[in-house]
């Protein structure tokens, strides 16, 4: 079994664990989101483009909020793991089928994301034990037992994720690379096609997340207008695009949502 | 309910510090009392100030606030402000009545604030901010500058609103806590949510147009046929989502379907 051990792997494991804290436990400022996690992983391993690409795909697909008591996979872990594995597998075994490699990385990343999400349940159970341990001292009124309980909870979450990421990156990369190398060409072709489908899944998820009747009409209108504009002019100027889309949305919202109420 | 004599003022700095500590509300989240430790941690410095020199009352307050607590993280500042005002204002001469008043207010506010926060942030602001970010990244073809712009705009949009809402509620609830309910009722959350959803759909339509125009579609090799296949896949995924299939299931099914297609073709 090939062990991939380097300072970058240790750094990646630590940064990944730190990012996971923002996902739910500290702040929830969106710093841990896939578009950032993927970019950071790509930066660590020298391929920013792939990291951003994977992060964007994962962000699109896993953008909607979880429903009820369902514990979703950690989208941050999916993007981060997929990027790290993909880039390290590409270094170990240089592949022509890079699209298939990205998709394979995403499949493993999804499994990792599920594990991280489920492992958060274990941390919450551990926090219940921590609460019972420190509660008698907390009820005496001091701040230090509270700080200690919080520190224990933080350390448990961080070290769990750091160790898990380290194991996956150090040991998992070699195993994954061997599996990928042994896949028949038809499966590689299928993985390439699946990567093409991923943005479609993401667009559909967002459509369902934001769907309203008025929104659907605006969606179709802007789709047709921009499709024709880009068919005619071929080039996208991002600033113009954003301003035009924002203006169109603003006009519709002002007239049909807010102004409608005040009539 | 009797209130205490001269009001002990908690300073704005105390409030800001406690509000900042609410970033750790979820850190020690547990299955028994949920966010209790995080909330008590944020409240602790103010309880010390309110009950300075009155240990018994401070310990009673500790027992009150180490109990069950669960609400939306960014709307928890509203509860923080109200709890601090009640602890300050309500008389300690009738401790049982004070306890009941504080407990019933807490229980009455937690649920509605959680519901508002969940729809506004998790179903509205968060996916919208991230859609903006991803859209900019895709438009700029995954360059570093584009990524930076997308991330900055996404984070700025979301976090500015988050911080404004959070601290506005904190100060409003502390200084004008009797007006909190009527203030929340006046805010048109439904219109705000509708605006976010409509804007999201608008931006999505524009981004989809760009994606279709620029994507090198190579399923069949003919642009119009590949576009049809793309539309078909889109409709299929929408149908699966409306049939309550999880995104991960759809992801796995798509991979499997593509592999089967590759074997067939």
pTM of the model: 0.92
Res A124: pLDDT: 92
**What is the band of B215 on the pLDDT scale with cuts at 50, 70, 90?**
low
Tokens at A222, concatenated = 């802007």
pLDDT in tens, B141-166: 899 999 999 999 999 999 999 999 99
**What are the chain A neighbours of B261 within 8 Å (beta carbons)?**
190, 193
Cβ–Cβ of A208/B242 closer than 8 Å?
yes
Closest CA to A37 of A62, A24, A20: A20
Res A259: pLDDT: 80
Task: Name residues whose C-beta falls within 8 Å of residue B154's C-beta, 6 or more positions apart in sequence.
Answer: A30, A33, A35, B129, B130, B132, B133, B136
Q: Which of A26, A244, A253 lies nearest to residue B27, judging by beta carbons?
A: A26
**What are the chain B neighbours of A139 within 8 Å (beta carbons)?**
59, 62-63, 66
Tokens at B100, concatenated = 């009941």
**What are the chain B neighbours of A143 within 8 Å (beta carbons)?**
44
Q: Decide if A31 contacts B23 (C-beta within 8 A).
A: no
Q: Torsion-angle region of residue B221: left (phi > 0), alpha (psi -120 to 50) or beta?
A: left
Q: Which CA distances in Å does A145 have to A31, B75, B171?
A: 29, 26, 28
Q: What is the C-alpha to C-alpha distance for residues A75 and A63, in angstroms, rounded to an integer?
A: 8
Residue of chain A minimizing CA distance to B231: A200
pLDDT in tens, A55-80: 999 999 999 876 666 678 999 999 99
With a cut of 50, say whether residue B1 has pLDDT above it: no
Q: What is the C-alpha to C-alpha distance for residues A229 and B214, in angstroms, rounded to an integer?
A: 12
Q: What is the C-alpha to C-alpha distance for residues B173 and B77, in angstroms, rounded to an integer?
A: 8
Three-state DSSP class for B90? strand
Q: What is the C-alpha to C-alpha distance for residues B180 and B187, in angstroms, rounded to an integer?
A: 11
ipTM associated with this complex? 0.91
Biggest CA-to-CA distance, chain A: 73
Q: Which CA distances in Å does A191 have to A179, A196, B6, B192, B259?
A: 14, 9, 72, 41, 6
Tokens at A109, concatenated = 């990343």
Res B230: pLDDT: 82
Residue of chain B minimizing CA distance to A54: B142
Closest CA to B132 of B116, B118, B117, B146: B146
Percent of chain B with pLDDT over 90: 72
Q: What is the C-alpha to C-alpha distance for residues A74 and B179, in angstroms, rounded to an integer?
A: 39
Tokens at A199, concatenated = 């943005």
Q: Which CA distances in Å does A157 have to A124, A146, A228, B138, B199?
A: 9, 17, 50, 33, 37
Res B2: pLDDT: 45
Residue of chain B minimizing CA distance to A114: B248
**What is the band of B7 on the pLDDT scale with cuts at 50, 70, 90?**
low
B77/chain A closest Cα distance in angstroms = 13
Rg (chain A; Cα; Å): 22
Res A68: pLDDT: 62
Q: What is the 3-state secondary structure (H, E, C) of B54-89?
A: CHHHHHHHHHHHCCCECCCCCCHHHHHHHHHHHHHH
Res A91: pLDDT: 77
- Is A179 within 8 Å of chain B by CB? no
Cβ–Cβ of A236/B142 closer than 8 Å?
no
Closest CA to A197 of A110, A107, A104, A103: A103
Q: Which of A60, A62, A226 lies nearest to residue B209, judging by beta carbons?
A: A226
**What are the chain B neighbours of A48 within 8 Å (beta carbons)?**
144, 147
Question: Which of A96-100, A189-193, B20-24 is least confident?
Answer: A96-100
Cβ–Cβ of A201/B251 closer than 8 Å?
yes
A220/chain B closest Cα distance in angstroms = 6
**What is the band of A17 on the pLDDT scale with cuts at 50, 70, 90?**
very high
Closest CA to A106 of A65, A66, A56, A170: A56
Closest CA to A132 of B92, B152, B169, B32: B32
B168/chain A closest Cα distance in angstroms = 17
Q: What is the C-alpha to C-alpha distance for residues A262 and B197, in angstroms, rounded to an integer?
A: 20
For residue A142, the cross-strand partners are none
In chain A, residues 107-166 whose CB comes closer than 8 Å to chain B = 107, 110, 114, 124-125, 127-128, 130-131, 135, 138-141, 143, 146-147, 149-150, 152-154
Per-residue pLDDT, averaged over B108-114, amounts to 93
**What are the chain A neighbours of B146 within 8 Å (beta carbons)?**
238
Per-residue pLDDT, averaged over A24-45, amounts to 95
Cβ–Cβ of B198/A244 closer than 8 Å?
no
Task: Name residues whose C-beta falls within 8 Å of residue A244's C-beta, 6 or more positions apart in sequence.
Answer: A226, B206
Cβ–Cβ of B209/A230 closer than 8 Å?
yes
Other CB atoms within 10 A of residue A140 CB: 11
- Is A186 within 8 Å of chain B by CB? yes
Tokens at A75, concatenated = 């989208």
Cβ–Cβ of A149/B28 closer than 8 Å?
yes
Sign of CA dihedral B132, A120, A168, A205: negative
Q: Decide if B81 contacts B170 (C-beta within 8 A).
A: yes
What's the residue count for chain A? Answer: 263
pLDDT in tens, B32-83: 999 999 999 999 999 999 998 899 999 999 999 999 999 999 999 999 999 9
Q: Decide if A157 contacts A123 (C-beta within 8 A).
A: yes
* pLDDT, chain A, mean: 90
**What are the chain A neighbours of B55 within 8 Å (beta carbons)?**
141
In chain A, residues 41-70 whose CB comes closer than 8 Å to chain B = 48-49, 52-53, 56, 59-65, 70
């Amino acid at each position: 079994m090939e062990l991939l051990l380097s300072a970058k792997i240790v750094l990646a494991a630590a940064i990944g664990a730190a990012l996971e804290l923002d996902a739910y436990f500290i702040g929830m400022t969106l710093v841990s989101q896939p578009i950032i996690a993927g970019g950071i992983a790509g930066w660590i391993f020298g391929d920013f483009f792939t990291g951003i690409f994977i992060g964007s795909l994962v962000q699109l697909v896993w953008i909607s909020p979880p429903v009820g008591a369902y514990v979703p996979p950690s989208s941050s872990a999916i993007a981060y793991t997929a990027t790290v594995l993909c880039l390290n597998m590409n270094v170990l075994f240089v592949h022509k089928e890079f699209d298939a490699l990205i998709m394979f990385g995403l499949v493993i990343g999804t499994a990792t994301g599920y594990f991280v999400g489920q492992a958060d349940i274990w941390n919450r159970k551990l926090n219940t034990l921590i609460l019972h341990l420190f509660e008698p001292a907390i009820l005496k009124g001091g701040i230090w037992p509270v700080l200690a309980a919080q520190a224990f909870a933080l350390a448990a979450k961080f070290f769990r994720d750091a160790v898990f990421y380290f194991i996956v990156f150090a040991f998992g990369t070699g195993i994954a690379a061997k599996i990928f190398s042994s896949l028949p060409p038809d499966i590689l072709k299928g993985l390439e096609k699946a990567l093409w489908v991923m943005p479609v899944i993401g667009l559909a998820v967002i459509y369902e997340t934001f769907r309203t009747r008025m929104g659907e009409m605006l969606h179709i209108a802007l789709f047709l207008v921009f499709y024709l504009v880009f068919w005619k002019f071929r080039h996208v100027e991002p600033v113009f695009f954003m301003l035009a889309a924002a203006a169109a949305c603003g006009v519709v919202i002002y007239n049909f949502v807010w102004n409608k109420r005040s009539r | 309910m009797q209130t205490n004599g001269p009001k002990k003022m908690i300073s704005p700095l105390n409030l800001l510090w406690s509000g900042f500590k609410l970033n750790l509300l979820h850190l020690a989240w547990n299955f028994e009392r949920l966010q209790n430790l995080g909330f008590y941690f944020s409240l602790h410095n103010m309880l010390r100030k309110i009950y300075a020199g009155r240990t018994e009352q401070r310990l009673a307050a500790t027992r009150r606030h180490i109990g069950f607590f669960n609400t939306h993280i960014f709307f928890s500042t509203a509860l923080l402000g109200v709890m601090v005002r009640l602890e300050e204002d309500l008389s300690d001469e009738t401790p049982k009545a004070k306890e009941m008043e504080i407990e019933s207010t807490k229980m009455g506010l937690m649920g509605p604030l959680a519901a508002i926060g969940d729809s506004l942030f998790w179903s509205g602001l968060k996916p919208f901010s991230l859609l903006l970010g991803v859209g900019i990244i895709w438009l700029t073809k995954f360059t570093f500058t584009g990524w930076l712009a997308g991330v900055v705009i996404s984070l700025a949009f979301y976090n500015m609103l988050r911080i404004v809402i959070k601290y506005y509620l904190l100060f409003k609830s502390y200084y004008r806590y009797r007006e909190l309910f009527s203030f929340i009722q006046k805010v048109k959350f439904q219109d705000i949510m509708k605006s976010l959803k409509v804007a999201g759909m608008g931006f999505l339509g524009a981004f989809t147009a760009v994606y279709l125009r620029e994507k090198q579609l190579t399923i069949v090799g003919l642009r119009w046929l590949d576009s049809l296949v793309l539309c078909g896949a889109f409709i299929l995924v929408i149908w699966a989502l409306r049939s309550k299939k999880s995104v991960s299931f759809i992801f796995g099914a798509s991979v499997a379907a593509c592999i089967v297609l590759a074997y067939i073709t």
